[in-house]
Amino acid sequence: MIMGRKNKQLLYPSPAKAAIDATKIQSFVSSHARKIVTVAHVHEALSEYMPFVQRAFNKEGFAFLTEYECPKILKSGQLLLWPLEEQIPHRLVVRSVSSVAVSCERKNIVEQRRKEVSKHTGADEKAKLGQFLTPRATSDFLASLFDGRGKRECRLLDPGAGIGSLTIAFLENEKLQFSPIKITACEIDTKLHLDLAKTLEATDTEIITSDFIETAVNWLQFEPERRFTHVILNPPYKKIATSSSARNLLRCVDIETVNLYSAFVALSIKLLDDGGQLVAIIPRSFCNGPYYKSFRKLILRETAIQQIHLFDSRKSAFKDDNVLQENIVIKLEKCAKQGDVLISMSADDTFHDYHVSSFAFSEIVKPLDKEQFIHIPTSCAPCQLDQLPGLTHSLSELGVSVSTGPVVDFRVKDFLSRMPTRLTVPLLYPAHCGLNTSVWPKPDIKKSNALIIADQTKKWLFPLGYYCVVKRFSSKEEKRRISASVISPGTFGNVLGLAFENHLNVFHEEKKGISAELAYGLSVYLNTSFVDNYFRCFNGHTQVNATDLRQLFYPSREILIKLGKWAMTQEELTEERIMDWMRATCREKYMPNLRVTTIASAC
């Protein structure tokens, strides 16, 4: 049942007209149920006065929900066709069809041009200028994210414009009715200028043919009138060397960043008017890690994140160019109040399974996180980790450190030994590590099992003891990203120490072992799928680095030790049993008065 409907003010006046053609309505329902449409779209499809339409849909068992019923999902002018019998959704998994009817001819020509240019540009050249032009479907999607309401004049910036695919998608999106529109397209590659000019002919466009970084820094310093209401961009991706002139130029306007893509976005944010909007397709790498901290801070200080779109497949956005990069689309609004964030997803650039959900900002950037990692929740279910009380401890609060294994094998080839001898210590690789356990030596692995003790290698050795280790790399296909094991001293006999290879992260206490219970507690906790899911929300790579493990939240040391003790006595450890144990123990400790009542549900 749709709740609260009776008390709602009537949205449309009561009609006094004969019924509308039912087959028209049924066909509309079959293609648009549970989807967002616009008032204009309904009107166009049915050419009927809205109040009559509403009544006809009611007869078919559907109603149009509006921004009043679903303020978190719908904006003014948007409607959601929803079954009367179902509860009003407060989060949404639907496909938007609001921008389907855009004029196609000019975009077809530009798409053809893009394919030609892409075909005739060599891989080296593409890599040199980061020249991966955006296919039409993705360009349309980026343009569809801008709000069309409220602003009349538009000054649009397209930095690194290529042949203008993004700008044309913006111009031809019927939702975006601005007037006048002034365009500034900046493209450094002279070979593209003619195509760019052709794409944008008959528009009010200025093509800037110089380096965007140089140009934007000049505008910011000397031309306060050069500001924009909208920026749409697919910037080049390339590292910027620490001592390069680009890096020095960026510092003149207080931008500290390591890649061209973040530099382009940072400059664009600074060039936006207050209330201006930016939509960009960029790699996901800025969401975590120390190198992009300053860039994240700039985004969070100067803009509100309104939407993030994630493609499930890493290849999908630029499949013609074989770009294996995890890309996201992000929509920002300058100087706006940060509210909930829409997270949308699609398997690829056909957007056939596009779905969107709304999340509290605190689920995107954790309030206590000094690193300000940007998490992208990948499921509609709220993160289980957030629901357990007491999972609030940092690693340093546990008195535990984590380090990358110090032995880089190809640098110490002369000190590697396939099997142990009197003069070696065990050398541990991921190949020795299983789920909460380890096996050593392994005669049939390709790697060495031991490291020769010498002056050069002594500094890397850890004393024999219990440790928890986590593999640094997993393949995209592997089920879990975080894979933890316990290293137990009993495995090794009488040895002088342990060496950890660089593909492992090691949990230790001041370079010494930790208690057996704590090692097991940590390992079991890290191996749960709720930690793994949580980790995936903010880490797009398949790498798990020590910094990432330092960013996680853990149960208290006391609970981890209890968990370890319990786990060591269990014959079989299943995910379900671990989760039950965690729930019961955390609740008992932190919410002793909570009574859990099960309410029988009618559905």
Residues forming the site for ligand SAM (CB under 6 A): 129-134, 160-162, 165-166, 186-189, 192, 211-213, 234-236
Of 24 and 238, which CB lies nearer to ligand SAM in the complex structure?
238
Of 163 and 416, which CB lies nearer to ligand SAM in the complex structure?
163
Of 214 and 575, which CB lies nearer to ligand SAM in the complex structure?
214
Q: C-beta of 281: minimal distance to ligand SAM in Å?
A: 7
Q: Which amino acid is at 500?
A: F
Q: C-beta of 17: minimal distance to ligand SAM in Å?
A: 48
Of 160 and 513, which CB lies nearer to ligand SAM in the complex structure?
160
Q: Which amino acid is at 326?
A: E
Of 142 and 468, which CB lies nearer to ligand SAM in the complex structure?
142
**Structure tokens given for 69:** 């019923």
| Structural contact between residues 38 and 1, judged by C-beta atoms closer than 8 angstroms | no
The enclosing H or E element of 546 equals: helix 546-551
Of 330 and 388, which CB lies nearer to ligand SAM in the complex structure?
330
Of 192 and 559, which CB lies nearer to ligand SAM in the complex structure?
192
| Structural contact between residues 497 and 548, judged by C-beta atoms closer than 8 angstroms | no
Of 112 and 392, which CB lies nearer to ligand SAM in the complex structure?
112
Q: C-beta of 184: minimal distance to ligand SAM in Å?
A: 12
Q: C-beta of 212: minimal distance to ligand SAM in Å?
A: 4
Q: Within 13 Å, how many C-alpha atoms sit on residue 90's CB side?
A: 5
Of 147 and 211, which CB lies nearer to ligand SAM in the complex structure?
211
**Structure tokens given for 212:** 């965007």
Q: C-beta of 231: minimal distance to ligand SAM in Å?
A: 11
Q: C-beta of 106: minimal distance to ligand SAM in Å?
A: 15
Q: C-beta of 274: minimal distance to ligand SAM in Å?
A: 25
**Structure tokens given for 21:** 């053609």
Q: C-beta of 542: minimal distance to ligand SAM in Å?
A: 23
Q: C-beta of 533: minimal distance to ligand SAM in Å?
A: 31
Of 268 and 358, which CB lies nearer to ligand SAM in the complex structure?
268
SS3 of residue 394 by DSSP: coil
Rounded to whole angstroms, the Cα distance separating 585 from 590 reads 9
Write the burial class of residue 581 (CB in 10 Å: 0-12 exposed, 13-18 middle, 19+ buried).
middle
* Parallel, antiparallel or unpaired: strands 272-283 and 228-233: parallel
Q: How far from 557 is each of 57, 178, 235, 398, CA to CA, in Å?
A: 58, 58, 45, 5
Return the residue matching tokens 């002056």: 455
Of 268 and 539, which CB lies nearer to ligand SAM in the complex structure?
268
Of 161 and 582, which CB lies nearer to ligand SAM in the complex structure?
161
Q: Residue 466: what are its φ and ψ, rounded to 5°?
A: -85, 140
**Structure tokens given for 235:** 């910037």
Write the burial class of residue 60 (CB in 10 Å: 0-12 exposed, 13-18 middle, 19+ buried).
middle
| Structural contact between residues 440 and 426, judged by C-beta atoms closer than 8 angstroms | yes
- Nearest residue to 549 via CA among 404, 437, 433: 404
Q: Which amino acid is at 348?
A: D
Q: C-beta of 140: minimal distance to ligand SAM in Å?
A: 12
Q: C-beta of 239: minimal distance to ligand SAM in Å?
A: 13
Tallying the residues shown for the chain, one arrives at: 603
| Structural contact between residues 583 and 530, judged by C-beta atoms closer than 8 angstroms | no
SS3 of residue 551 by DSSP: helix
Q: C-beta of 153: minimal distance to ligand SAM in Å?
A: 23
**Structure tokens given for 339:** 């509210």
Of 174 and 211, which CB lies nearer to ligand SAM in the complex structure?
211
Rounded to whole angstroms, the Cα distance separating 484 from 526 reads 6
Q: C-beta of 145: minimal distance to ligand SAM in Å?
A: 14
- Nearest residue to 282 via CA among 232, 247, 230, 242: 232
**Structure tokens given for 560:** 């981890």
SS (H, E, C) 156-217: EEEECCCCCHHHHHHHCCCCCCCCCEEEEEECCCHHHHHHHHHHCCCCCEEEECCCHHHHHH
